Amino acid sequence: MLVYTIRRVVGAIPTILIVVTLAFFMMRIAPGGPFDRGRPMDPTVLANLDATFGFDEPLWRQYLIYLVNLAQGDMGPSFIYRDQRVAEIIGSGLPVSMLLGGLALTLAVLLGPTLGSLAALRQNSISDYAVSSVATFGITIPNFVAAPILSLVFGVMLGWLPAQGWGDWRQLILPIVALSLPFVAIIARLTRGAMIEALRSDHVRTARAYGLPAHTVVLKHALRAAFLPVAGYLGPAAASLLTGSIVIEQVFNLPGIGRHFVQGAINRDYTLVMGTVVVIAVFVVLFNLMVDLLYSVLDPRVRYD
């Protein structure tokens, strides 16, 4: 297991390198630059700024310099936020995004399998139809629609919860619900389909034939097998949730890295966008590795040699 983990971590380095390379050159190819949004600058001032930040170097050399600095843990300075390094900006926004995403992931993992199992155990009943309908609704309604509606209804019209802001635990409720809704729906659908298949499998029928209690058959045998496709989905889902949602943080005015990513892209803050991309890529790799290891726990037939 340890050898496999080390091999996967080493094998992830080329993947992260490809992501960094694509993001670097796509940002540089895009029209505009970090110093083009204000009033026109004197050519001498602009040339001095380019020399200070290395924009006067050939693009391939800028790329190599960025890779060397990144390998040393230096993501560079922000071009828009004065006197701030990208690592400092991400360090201040990442805890917010991780708290929001972690709570949303917890809600999705608890609620999604519960609803999916309930629908599978009562297949073709009113409960099954209700769960399937709600799940379909949750999948089809995107965050940029659900978040403003929740903020308007529960925050503005009813006044039950704060519509925006950060600092009070009540301000977390609406963002967590809005962020977790599609993930709850997808996990519920995955669990329902996998649970129906698991209940019809040979090992579950054998467990029932041995006279095991119904709750033991469902929890120990059927649900464990049904959670395999859910575990495969949790890798990218967890990375997306824990790094925050761009739309959710914009709607609810949260100081997470998703909001910084949007501002960096608008302002052509190359290093800030690149730093955010690197963080997200690392999270995706780590969570996919955790899912692979989780497979060996859920399915005894899976072994990593």
Residue 119, number of CB atoms within 10 A of its CB: 26
Q: Is there a domain that residue 135 lies in? A: yes
Q: Is there a domain that residue 225 lies in? A: yes
Q: Is there a domain that residue 50 lies in? A: no
Number of helices (H), then strands (E), in the chain: 13, 0
Query: Considering its fold, how many domains does the chain have in total?
Result: 1
- Model confidence over 6-60: pLDDT tens digits? 776 777 788 888 888 888 888 777 766 666 655 555 566 666 666 666 666 777 8
Q: Is there a domain that residue 152 lies in? A: yes
Query: Which residue range(s) make up the domain with 229?
Result: 95-254
Q: Is the pTM of this model over 0.85?
A: no
* Cα 273 to chain centroid, rounded: 16
Q: Is there a domain that residue 142 lies in? A: yes
Q: Is there a domain that residue 184 lies in? A: yes
Q: Whole-angstrom Cα distance, residue 260 to residue 257?
A: 5
SS3 33: coil
pLDDT at 36: 61
pLDDT at 260: 78
* Residue environment code for 202-213, b if the CB has 16+ CB neighbours within 10 A, otherwise e: eebeebbeeeee
Q: Is there a domain that residue 160 lies in? A: yes
Structure confidence at residue 115 as a pLDDT band (50, 70, 90)? confident
- Model confidence over 255-301: pLDDT tens digits? 888 777 777 777 777 888 888 888 888 887 787 777 777 666 665 55
Average pLDDT over the chain reads 78
- Model confidence over 86-101: pLDDT tens digits? 888 888 888 888 888 8
* DSSP letter (8 states) at residue 166: S
CA distance between the termini of the chain: 6
pLDDT at 154: 87
pLDDT at 225: 72
Q: Which CATH number does the domain housing residue 100 bear?
A: 1.10.3720.10
